[in-house]
Amino acid sequence: MIFEQCVRVRISVFKMAEAVVKHDEHVTDFEDTVARLTDAFPNLSVGVIRKVATSCRRDIVKMVMRLSAIEVDEQRNAKVEESGALMPKTEQPSTSGVGQKKRGTSIKSQVKKYTSDFNIEEFLEMFPNPEETFRNPERGEDVLDLTTADYVVHFFMNKYPFIYKSHISFLLYQGPTRQPKCKSLLKVDEELQQAEQNDEQIMKCRRKPTTMRVDPGEDIRLLQELAYLEHRTDILDCKLKKEQEKTKRRTFAKENGSSVSCQCCFADDLLPEEVYSCTNDCSFCEECIRRSCEIKLAEGDIQFPCLADCGSQFSWKTLQAALPPTLFSKLSQNYTESEIRAAGLTVDSCPLCNFPNTIDERCTSFQCFNPECMKETCRLCKELNHLPLRCDEVEKDEDVQARVYVENKMTEAILRSCYKCKRKFVKEDNCCNKITCICGAVSCYVCNKPVIGYDHFIGLGDSRSEK
């Protein structure tokens, strides 16, 4: 309650100040906004205020809400540090600041990896079969949400500048609550590409490039999918060229007798770079090593012996080179977790993917460093991080679903569709039931039937019905 009251007071003061300087022609709108926000939030740095003002341009309420949440969070951390200073020095963790710095650096590097520093070769190493990966509907279950809705819409607006924004939103979300409609962004991209080729939903003029005003935050899975959609043609071309080159080299090696065989499946047409050895130089192909490691992973084992039973093992360097990044990450995760627990360190796991990490016991949130997850969760309720709200103040899944269902039904009750162009519309208050669509069609708002004149409305409630 105190947090909400502070926000309301600051919003009202901020709007009063805006009215006072509204006609000041010597100060730009943005710099004036930053200056007044700095006065309203003296405990926050100018850099933080400028970043929030940039992402929430012209939305005063959103600016104040975000900055208030940041200020409350910093005050809470300050109190924790103050109370921790009263503890004996032997009880104070010495690496908490380093951990926070590493976490921020890791997240920033992950974001750059799929935006400004995108590399096709590295992307194909992470996703050897991108079409299969991003077409999987299970992957897209948590990609679309309300926090990233505007970012995704602006991405497709820039990629398809001739397609109406309303059509893009229609394919992505449904209803005024903007609930996700399609779980596969790849499918949406293909539908928009088809519409552009068939000259459907096409504007007369090209749309100017729009600015991504909304930051996707730390949603790495979304950035991965958008990066693939943006560079899809180049990625598939690069993948095809690699496969063709490998086929040529395999044929040449087989003709010249330089091919290598696997000691497990006995395939004899392998290239030297496709074969990996244990510490005793027993040679195996990638497929056999991968299947063996998957079996060991299912058994919960962290030892990976040679497939020829020579008594040796595969080194971690060999496993990292032979296995897909996702599988190697799971193997290293199991190994790291066992080592941490054996050392007696405080460790916690991500509730979404079980990725372990050492933690500060005073911290209430858990940041996952799994490249496939990268989510921040609450350690108390095991849900997505909801600061500054408490666990009991967050709506649960069933509550959200019930509320969304009621809101959708209420929207359907007042929405009508034109019988001619299928455009959605809502009647304004105290207006006639004779509705004229912008396409020229006239219909009755009550029964949605076509009408001519006013004879259709003669009946109950009409004075002429009593004559």
Domains along the sequence of the chain with CATH = 2-83 (no CATH), 112-234 (no CATH), 261-341 (3.30.40.10), 346-414 (no CATH), 421-466 (no CATH)
Average pLDDT of the residues in 240-256 = 88
**pLDDT band of 90, cuts 50, 70, 90:** very low
CA 172, CA 182: separation in Å to the nearest integer?
6
pLDDT at residue 26 tops 50: no
Query: Out of 40-44, 116-120, 358-362, which region has the weakest mean confidence (pLDDT)?
Result: 40-44
Query: Out of 2-16, 251-265, 273-287, 334-348, which region has the weakest mean confidence (pLDDT)?
Result: 2-16
Give the ranges where 114-148 is alpha helix by DSSP (H): 120-126, 130-135
pLDDT of residue 240: 92
Average pLDDT of the residues in 107-122 = 81
pTM given for the model: 0.47
Question: Which residues neighbour 228 within 8 Å (Cβ) at sequence distance 6 or greater?
Answer: 123, 127, 130, 134, 186, 235
pLDDT at residue 340 tops 60: yes
* Residue, of 333 and 320, whose pLDDT is higher: 320
Q: Tokens 């108390």 map to which residue?
A: 380
pLDDT of residue 102: 45
What string of DSSP letters covers 210-267? PP--S--TT-HHHHHHHHHHHTHHHHHHHHHHHHHHHHHHHHHHHHHT--B--TTT--
* Residue, of 307 and 12, whose pLDDT is higher: 307
Average pLDDT of the residues in 388-411 = 74
CA 402, CA 351: separation in Å to the nearest integer?
24
Dihedral, CA of residue 42, residue 46, residue 52 and residue 58, to nearest 10: 80
pLDDT of residue 16: 42
**pLDDT band of 5, cuts 50, 70, 90:** very low
Q: What is the mean pLDDT of the chain?
A: 74
Q: Which residues of 250-279 are buried (b: 16+ CB within 10 A; e: fewer)?
A: eeebeeeeebbebbbeebeebbeebbbbbe
Contact 143, 247 (CB under 8 A): no
pLDDT of residue 241: 92
pLDDT of residue 236: 92
Q: What percent of the chain has pLDDT over 90?
A: 3
Average pLDDT of the residues in 393-403 = 68
Average pLDDT of the residues in 199-224 = 74
pLDDT at residue 81 tops 60: no
Phi first, then psi, for residue 177 (nearest 5°) are: -80, -5
Query: Out of 68-72, 103-107, 232-236, 260-264, which region has the weakest mean confidence (pLDDT)?
Result: 103-107
Give 405-462 pLDDT, tens digit per residue: 788 788 777 888 888 767 778 887 777 888 888 667 888 888 888 887 778 877 655 5
pLDDT of residue 267: 85
Average pLDDT of the residues in 86-94 = 35
- What are 169's two structure tokens? 């939103």
- What are 271's two structure tokens? 């290239």
* Residue, of 4 and 395, whose pLDDT is higher: 395
pLDDT of residue 235: 92
Average pLDDT of the residues in 85-101 = 38
Average pLDDT of the residues in 114-142 = 79
pLDDT of residue 459: 67
Average pLDDT of the residues in 207-219 = 66
pLDDT at residue 463 tops 60: no
Average pLDDT of the residues in 374-384 = 83
pLDDT of residue 238: 92
**pLDDT band of 156, cuts 50, 70, 90:** confident
Give 214-244 pLDDT, tens digit per residue: 555 557 788 888 889 889 999 999 999 998 9
pLDDT of residue 89: 36
pLDDT at residue 83 tops 70: no
pLDDT at residue 390 tops 70: yes
Phi first, then psi, for residue 127 (nearest 5°) are: -125, 85
